[in-house]
């Protein structure tokens, strides 16, 4: 775990994983801490691990069954201890089109958004942005930027549970 204070601006938290299982365990920690109205965004190229990460969240939330990329659907809902709302807005025709996202963002579950830049204007100001980059082989770097105290607490907790990073 690395914690950088950027010019008195946003603190970021960096985690490195070396397998899909490690990515899922990292995400599972977050799923277990989920509270209604939590919003996470996931950015990264195809194959970075956005959906794998979401599968870990689902496990932490106690969602039974399989979570896949919502290829032809923009939003998929899964029932766990809290609902998980999985959005993949990559194929949204009209950038900025409002499909009632606030119902999810401020709803009773955890929302995770793949390709958040497609709906940048509509994202809630309090959220955690996660950027994934590929390294050699199975290495993936996750940079978390928390906006708001709720997400700072979450990041600190993950850092405590995954100190080896």
Contact footprint for ligand ADP (CB under 6 A)? 17-20, 22-23, 44, 46-52, 69, 138, 140
Taking a C-beta distance cutoff of 8 angstroms, is the pair 86, 78 a contact? yes
| Binds 140: which of ligand ADP, Mg ion, none (CB < 5-8 Å by kind) | ligand ADP
Shortest distance, position 7 Cβ to ligand ADP, whole Å: 30
Q: Which is nearer to Mg ion, 14 or 69 (CB)?
A: 69
Binding Mg ion by CB under 5 A: which of 17, 23, 41, 51?
51
**Any bridge partners for residue 42, and if so which?**
114, 130
Taking a C-beta distance cutoff of 8 angstroms, is the pair 63, 84 a contact? yes
Q: Which is nearer to ligand ADP, 37 or 145 (CB)?
A: 145
Looking up tokens 């009209």, which residue turns up? Answer: 94
Burial 62-76 (b: 16+ CB within 10 A, else e): ebeeebeebeeebbb
Query: Does 69 contact Mg ion by CB under 5 A?
Result: yes
């Amino acid at each position: 775990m690395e914690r950088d204070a950027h010019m008195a601006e946003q603190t970021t938290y960096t985690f490195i994983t070396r397998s899909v299982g490690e990515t899922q365990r990292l995400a599972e920690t977050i799923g277990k801490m989920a509270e209604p109205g939590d919003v996470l965004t996931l950015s990264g190229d195809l194959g970075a691990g956005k959906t794998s990460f979401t599968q870990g969240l689902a496990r932490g939330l106690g969602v039974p069954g399989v979570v896949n990329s919502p290829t032809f659907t923009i939003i998929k809902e899964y029932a766990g201890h809290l609902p998980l709302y999985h959005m993949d807005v990559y194929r949204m025709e009209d950038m900025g089109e409002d499909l009632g996202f606030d119902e999810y963002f401020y709803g009773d579950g955890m929302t995770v958004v793949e390709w958040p830049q497609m709906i940048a204007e509509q994202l809630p100001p309090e959220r955690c942005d996660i950027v994934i980059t590929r390294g050699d082989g199975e290495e993936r770097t996750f940079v978390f930027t928390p906006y708001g105290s709720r997400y700072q607490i979450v990041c600190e907790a993950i850092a405590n549970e995954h100190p080896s990073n």
